[in-house]
Amino acid sequence: MNICIRILQQLAIVTLLPAALLPGVLVAAADAPGETPLKLTLTPQIYAVPGVEMSVYFDNVVLTEEPHSYHFAVECAIGRTEDRRWTVIPQTSDVGRIPFAIRITDGDGNVLATASSVLRVVPQEAGHGKSIRLLIVGDSLTHATKYPNEVARLLSQPGNPGWTMLGTHRPSSAAEGVAHEGYGGWTWVRFASKYEPHPDGTHRKRSSPFVFLGDDGKPQLNVQRYIREHCDEQPPDFVIFMLGINDCFSAPPDDPAGIDSRIDTVFEHTKTLLADFRKAAPNAHFGICLTPAPNSREAAFQANYKDRYHRWGWKQIQHRLVQRQIESVTTSRDNNVSIIPTQLNIDPVDGYPANNGVHPNEAGYRQLGVSIYAWLKSRL
């Protein structure tokens, strides 16, 4: 770590947040004066497991419409840098904490931004012999059930704990044992407060699985009742939240204050839901998935939304949301709540179909699953 920090200090443009050398605290970078603000953003830690590919896609960590116009250099003892990403398949000998840093330069070699993190390679046998209960809560990315299937596939390989996935939603596409609470179009506020007196059996017209009528006949958030009625009275060991797209998609992209105001509202609902989960499952680990970066193609947004929403508009919102998610979790210093860096390890080109702006293809969903799996292993 000290070698990487000295290198960055010599570049004379690094801004370290307080306690930046502590594990789990963001190390961010400042953009060079007078340059287009790239807003280079890394998570405090990047998780990986031996034998499983992990990548950082450069387009996902900067705010620019032209990532190809810049040069990205990665300082890390393992892995390799390719045209659009840094990637690694760790070996058993790589287990441990490895300094990781990115430097961005322009065509003339001028340094524009730097940021650092820690690559945490977790033992392949982490959690072996244990038994875990896992609940995933999300929107349409979870509803598709492809990344939960990938998490289940990876957890079923040798060296892993026994696992049980909790949830009332078991779509026909779910692999054996896979369940979740993922519904297309859902948000933090819906999960925290939605009560539907006349459900029609669809995911859109139904109550939140965590909201029930109280003794006073009024809807109330009650995760304890959910656990009692749907989880055999045994709380989950891990709860993963993949939410944010529907909460923020319609925020005003050219109004930074408007974006932050929308995110502030989202975080209030996040706090409400997390507080009730903490009360019901005080020993659980909570993982907040960073909202994934979008498809790199404007044509994909045109296919979905015509001229109503654009790729660059959502990219600005999504990037700010990711920054705020990281800041919120790291400054809370709650050891039971941590970031899952799902926005780093998803290919914005080959991880999406040509005609969908925010929903990955099979490869992209697998990458989301890998990020979640590596995070789970780090907690075991």
Residues 147-181: tens digit of each pLDDT: 999 999 999 999 999 999 999 999 999 999 999 99
What number is the average pLDDT over the span 51-59?
Answer: 98
**With bands split at pLDDT 50, 70 and 90, how would you rate the model's confidence at 62?**
very high
Res. 30: pLDDT tops 90: no
Query: Helices (H), strands (E): how many in the chain?
Result: 11, 15
Residues 316-348: tens digit of each pLDDT: 999 999 999 999 999 988 899 999 999 999 999
Three-state secondary structure string covering 165-230: EECCECCCCCCCCCCEEECCCCCHHHHHHCCCCCCCCCCCCCCCCCEEECCCCCEEECHHHHHHHH
Residues 102-132: tens digit of each pLDDT: 999 999 999 999 999 999 999 999 999 999 9
Residues 269-314: tens digit of each pLDDT: 999 999 999 999 999 999 999 999 999 999 999 999 999 999 999 9
pLDDT in the model for residue 333: 84
**With bands split at pLDDT 50, 70 and 90, how would you rate the model's confidence at 202?**
confident
**pTM of the predicted protein model:** 0.91
What DSSP string describes 289-337? EPPPPPPS-HHHHHHHHTTSS-HHHHHHHHHHHHHHHHHHHHHHT-TTE
**With bands split at pLDDT 50, 70 and 90, how would you rate the model's confidence at 350?**
very high
Q: What integer best gives the mean pLDDT of the chain? A: 91
Residues 212-254: tens digit of each pLDDT: 999 999 999 999 999 999 999 999 999 999 999 999 999 999 9
The domains of the chain, with CATH numbers, are 2-121 (2.60.40), 131-378 (3.40.50.1110)
Report the distance separating Cα 374 and Cα 126, nearest Å. Answer: 10
**With bands split at pLDDT 50, 70 and 90, how would you rate the model's confidence at 37?**
confident
pLDDT in the model for residue 203: 84
